[in-house]
Every structure is written in structure tokens, then in C-alpha cells.
Amino acid sequence: MREGYAGTEQQTMKQEMIEQTPNSSVDSAQDKQGGDSATGGPLLLVNQLERMFQVGSSTLHVLKGIQMSVMPNQLVMLKGRSGSGKTTLLNCLGGLDTPSKGEILFNGLPFSRMSDDERTHVRRRQMGFIFQAFALMPLLSAWENVELSLRMAGTPRSEWKSRVEQCLELVGLEKRMHHRPFELSGGEQQRVAIAKAIAHKPLLLLADEPTAELDTGMSAQIMSVFQNIITTENVSICMTTHDPTILEVADHVYEMVDGKFI
Ligand SMILES: Nc1ncnc2c1ncn2[C@@H]1O[C@H](COP(=O)(O)OP(=O)(O)OP(=O)(O)O)[C@@H](O)[C@H]1O
């Protein structure tokens, strides 16, 4: 993940997550109601999205009129060469960056036109993020990493134990729950990151190159975990990838060239 505007936003998000106390009484199940996905429409709808960056005196046009949709329970992949704009798009979809033009509807709501607070609320309650570099707390066990995510989402404490166990079992780590990240392989660490990202029952998982650090066997395991959680957790996944070997498991692949889909 390149640093820059979006990198700063991700830092901000991580900071928000660290600072957030579990004081919200909003029920995540309640948040799952409504919106287009409840009526069979797309979970995510992107209309004529553009993103420009001001670099010195020139304007860099990175996203140039993106149209896309993600349906409920779909696995959508964004493929493209380095620098084509995939991460910039993913950051806009997750509200970590703001489009210069165009619109993003999430669960039937105008996500890109929400206030920062509203967008943060939606992001915390209904979205989960997975990054290339696992993003785990190094001193916490797999169990504690997942529990932290529930704590930050405001899930009642009484539900933590069963949900942590359920998520770690879902990703096949029931025998490694008390290991810390350095005691786990790359693939296992990424599975903890997935358990962490789904713990609060999001509608959408956004994953930036989730298999980039992994060998072919481990990448295949991660893809099979993704397929499993789409059905068991009722979640949609939108991920970026460079890896042609995993594209076949996608429900839909968007190919990006120079800020546009071809
Ligand atoms: N904040 C920013 N300021 C200036 N330019 C930026 C900024 N963010 C992204 N860019 C530029 O936008 C282009 C697309 O970057 P992006 O990271 O979205 O591509 P990518 O397809 O995800 O690449 P990779 O696969 O290498 O991560 C690059 O040329 C990048 O330098």
C-alpha cells in the first residue's frame, strides 16, 4: 500500500479505531436492515466516479468515470497493473478517500455525499477492511485481535466470546486462537485479519491485494475462506489483485487500465 493521501486516511481510520470506545448502542443487525440490498438491488453502486489529485501545479486524473456494482453475496475483483488506480478506487468505496466527482451508493444510501461522521458510522458498522500486510496488533493473540475488533464496533461484551470463537473457527484457526502473529504463518495471519474484519458482521468486505504476500497455496486457502464467508456470513467482497491465478473464483472481474474499466 502506497503512502499518500489515502495512506494518511488509513492512519486516521486506525487511530479512530484505537480511540473509539464501545459506547454505541446501535445494533449492527439493525444497521443491516434497509437499503437496496434488502430489496434485491446492488449493495454497492458506483456512478461516473472520478478522482483527481493536485500535484504541484498539475492535476492528476486517477479515476476517470468508473461505473460498477457489487451485488449482495458477490465476490468482485478489481484487476489491473500497478498504478492503474485500484487502491484509489477501493479507498473511495470504503470512505477512506472522497471522490472528486460522481456518486457511490452503499446499501441504497448516498455514501459519498454523507457527512464525515455519517460515513464513519457506516464504515465502522457495515464495512470490514483487509490489507495486504495483515494489519494485526503484534502483541495481541489471534483471539485478542478479533476481540479488539468487537470492542471497537461496540458489540456487547457478553457476545464477544462466542463471536470470537465463531470467527476464528470460520477461518480454520480454532487450534491457533492463542498464538500471537509472529507465531503464525503469513496465510494464518491473513486468516486472523479476515476473522477480525468480519467479526462485527459487515455487509461489505474491502480487501486490497489480500494475497499479495502469500504463495500460491496460501492464496488459494484465502480465496476458499472468502468463498466460505460469503455464504455463511452473508457478506459481499470487493478486492484488488494482480494475481491472475485467483481470478477464476470471482463472480465478476473489472479490469482497470489507466483509471478506467475496459
Ligand atoms: N494522494 C495522491 N496524490 C497524488 N497521486 C496519487 C495519490 N494517490 C494515488 N496517486 C496516483 O494515482 C495512481 C494510481 O495509484 P493506485 O495506488 O490507486 O494504483 P494501484 O492500481 O492500486 O497500484 P498498485 O497495484 O501498485 O497498488 C498512481 O499514479 C499514484 O501515484
CA 5 to ligand 1: nearest atom:
1
**Quick check: is 188 in a domain?**
yes
What ipTM did this prediction achieve? 0.97
Nearest CA to ligand 1 atom 12: 62
Within-domain flag for 133: yes
Q: Tell me how far the alpha carbon of residue 82 lies from the centroid of ligand 1, in angstroms.
A: 8
Averaged over successive runs of 10 residues, the pLDDT of the chain (262 residues) comes to: 41 41 34 52 97 96 98 97 95 96 96 94 93 86 96 93 97 96 94 96 96 91 96 97 92 97 96
CATH number for the domain that contains residue 217: 3.40.50.300
What domain range includes position 251? Answer: 5-11+28-261
19 belongs to a structural domain: no
> How high is the pLDDT of residue 99?
97
- Name the residue at shortest CA distance from atom 9 of ligand 1: 88
What global pTM score does this model have?
Answer: 0.86
Structure confidence at residue 66 (pLDDT): 98
Ligand 1 centroid distance, CA of 237 (Å): 21
Per-residue confidence (pLDDT) for residue 53, from 0 to 100: 97
In a domain, 51, yes or no: yes
User: How much distance in Å is there from the Cα of 86 to the middle of ligand 1?
Assistant: 8
Please give the number of the atom of ligand 1 that sits closest to the Cα of 242: 25
pLDDT at 37: 52
Q: Is residue 20 part of a domain?
A: no
Q: Is residue 100 part of a domain?
A: yes
pLDDT at 40: 76
In a domain, 88, yes or no: yes
Examine residue 21 and state whether it is found in any structural domain, yes or no: no
Pocket probe for ligand 1: among 87, 208, 242, 261, the residue whose CB has the most ligand atoms within 8 Å is: 87
Q: How many domains does the chain have?
A: 1
* DSSP strand pairing (236-241 vs 204-208): parallel
